[in-house]
Amino acid sequence: MTSTEQAPAVDRDEELLERAADAAAARRTQVEKRIVGQREVVDEMLTALLANGHALLVGVPGLAKTLLVQTVADALDLDFSRIQFTPDLMPTDITGTEVIEEDRTSGRRVFRFVKGPIFANIVLADEINRTPPKTQAALLEAMQERAVTAAGETYRLPPPFFVLATQNPIEQEGTYPCPRRSSTASCWSFRSTIRVGTKKRRSRCARPERTIRRCAA
């Protein structure tokens, strides 16, 4: 490829990067109308989404991680689904299951696949380390393949498809750690691990001030 042929390709790459940066800035502004003091976390989440990857949010309870993910889904105008992981959660509770239906006209009974909550654009896997490995494996497989297989049939997940999981780093009793490539790597199938910390005092005061100004107006 000559230098004259490379120039248009470089210009197009720069244009795409600028468009991605503008889109991320616009979505960040929308998210900050509801979430205050978590700009770095929002930037890392948007980066993971733009890179077509999944992210693991690590933080103690009470930091509005669920609200943050739902707000990002609203800002992107994408379908949102939340899965609360528990020790008794089964893989079919996530991916879906087959049910028997009776045709009223013919009287025949047929199987019909009922899609699970994973069939959404943005899926919040809340406390992913609370469920056994077999259920984690079902989620991680769907994340990697972006599809669900049931009874020999493959069902594609709706694009774009992102999983944002949460994990409590303090409470480890009765949990099942996510599989990792190494001791220092992120959980398998997650592009990045995002640490969610407490807000600064100035940020905590900003939200009540906004509410007071909005009510006064």
Note the pLDDT tens digit of each residue in 141-189.
899 999 998 878 899 999 999 999 998 888 777 788 776 655 444 566 7
* Long-range CB contact pairs, 203-208, < 8 A, 24+: 203/36, 203/37, 204/36, 204/37, 206/36, 206/37, 207/36
- Burial letters 14-48, b for 16+ CB under 10 A, else e: eeeeeeeeeebeebbeebbebbbbbeebbebbbbb
pTM score of the predicted model: 0.78
Max distance between CA atoms of the chain, in angstroms, equals 70
Q: What is the mean pLDDT of residues 127-150?
A: 90
User: What is the CA 206 to chain-centroid distance, rounded?
Assistant: 27
pLDDT of 5 over the 50 cut:
yes
pLDDT at 203: 47
The residue range of the domain holding 89 is 3-216
Q: Are 163 and 123 in contact (CB under 8 A)?
A: yes
Residue found under tokens 């992107």: 76
pLDDT at 35: 87
Q: What is the mean pLDDT of residues 81-88?
A: 94
Q: Are 146 and 119 in contact (CB under 8 A)?
A: no
pLDDT at 109: 85
Half-sphere exposure of 57 (CA within 13 A, CB side): 30
pLDDT of 201 over the 70 cut:
no
CA pair distance 217, 213, nearest whole angstrom:
6
pLDDT band at 96 (very low <50, low <70, confident <90, very high): very high
pLDDT at 22: 84
What average pLDDT does the chain have?
82
Q: What CATH number corresponds to the domain at position 141?
A: 3.40.50.300
Q: Are 87 and 127 in contact (CB under 8 A)?
A: no
pLDDT band at 87 (very low <50, low <70, confident <90, very high): very high
11-59 residue pLDDT tens: 787 888 888 788 888 888 888 888 888 889 999 998 888 888 899 999 8
Q: Please count the structural domains in the chain.
A: 1
